[in-house]
Amino acid sequence: MRLGVVDVGSNTVHLLVVDAHRGAQPLPATSHKRELRLSEHVSTEGLIDAAGEQALVRFITECLAVAEDQGVEEVMAFATSAIREAPNGEEVLARVRAQTGVALEVLSGEDEARLTFLAARRWFGWSSGTLLVVDIGGGSLELAAGMDEEPDAAVSLPLGAGRLTRDLLPGNPPGADVVRAARREIRLRLAGAVRPLTKAGPPDRAVGTSKTMRSLARALGAAPSSDGPYAVRQLERTELTLLVGRLADMTAAERAQLPGISPGRSRQLLAGALVAEAALDLLGVDRLEICPWALREGVILSRLDALR
């Protein structure tokens, strides 16, 4: 069957169309995405503003047209932290449904961690043993660990790259004192939440997923996306620490000159690097292997598992 998944994230809204059936690897057919940056369309009270809501409605309408053109049999749509945490999130969801017919499912942070873990487990397989998954999004950080397809521990924290850039890293570039204070705050929040993961024991394989992780690995010389999903891409903690120092002194425009870094992502790259470095350090991990599958694939796999 041909499935479409609309992922409404804090940075990007993304339609992924795949050909899939139970027991088989989902094969991407087409992709349609746009950086709407819903996390930046918020008032001082955290409300999603009218411009953000209208942009979301327009783009979901576009996604439905693409899905129809591609012969999609079923469209699944979900939203993450940007809508989950907005005080007017329910009203936005209701208006999106009224205007597009799409009922967005709001995933909890734990669900995000659990589904991303499922995707990583299926990609790397049982031979990976105890798996640790680190996923940095625009609004939140998800961590999960375990030996099975369902993680033994799943944690979600409001430590997304877009959120932290907005809240903790003003300036272009931010000053050394600002970066130091942000680093301290990130580690303070993270240190209090990693115990469930460390109790699962040392991982046999540590994995990073999603765009921020891919961007950091690419900036450090990992293979470009044109080399395909099977190219081995890694993120080393020692190299990441050096990259943090470089990024802190660069403007967003200068970061956009790094390999694989788009202008739209460049401002958030420092925050993402600080979170990734802190996670590796506090979890005692020297290296992450980048997984090409993440939350969208986890949603697809979960749906396929439910088919009879």
Euclidean distance between the first and final Cα of the chain, in Å?
Answer: 13
pLDDT at residue 276, rounded to an integer: 98
List the structure tokens of 98. Answer: 């009224």
How far is 63 from 109, CA to CA, in rounded Å?
24
What stretches of the chain show up as alpha helix (H) in DSSP? 50-69, 81-84, 89-100, 109-124, 161-168, 176-191, 195-198, 210-219, 237-248, 252-255, 263-266, 269-282, 295-305
**What is the side-by-side strand order in the sheet with 74-79?**
27-35, 12-19, 2-8, 74-79, 105-106
Domain ranges, ordered by start, for the chain: 2-106, 110-295
pLDDT at residue 211, rounded to an integer: 93
- What's the burial of 291, exposed, middle or buried (CB within 10 Å: 0-12/13-18/19+)? buried
pLDDT at residue 227, rounded to an integer: 96
The parts of the chain modelled with pLDDT lower than 50 are none
As a CATH number, domain 2-106 is: 3.30.420.40
CATH of 110-295, one of 3.60.15.10, 3.30.420.150, 1.10.10.10, 1.20.1300.10: 3.30.420.150
List the structure tokens of 170. Answer: 């003003």
CB 248 within 8 A of CB 222: no
The answer to whether the 2-106 and 110-295 domains have the same CATH topology is yes
Cα dihedral sign, 92-48-39-83: negative
How far is 30 from 16, CA to CA, in rounded Å?
6
pLDDT at residue 76, rounded to an integer: 95
pLDDT at residue 40, rounded to an integer: 81
pLDDT at residue 62, rounded to an integer: 97
DSSP for 175-200 reads: PHHHHHHHHHHHHHHHHTT-HHHHTT
- pTM exceeds 0.75: yes
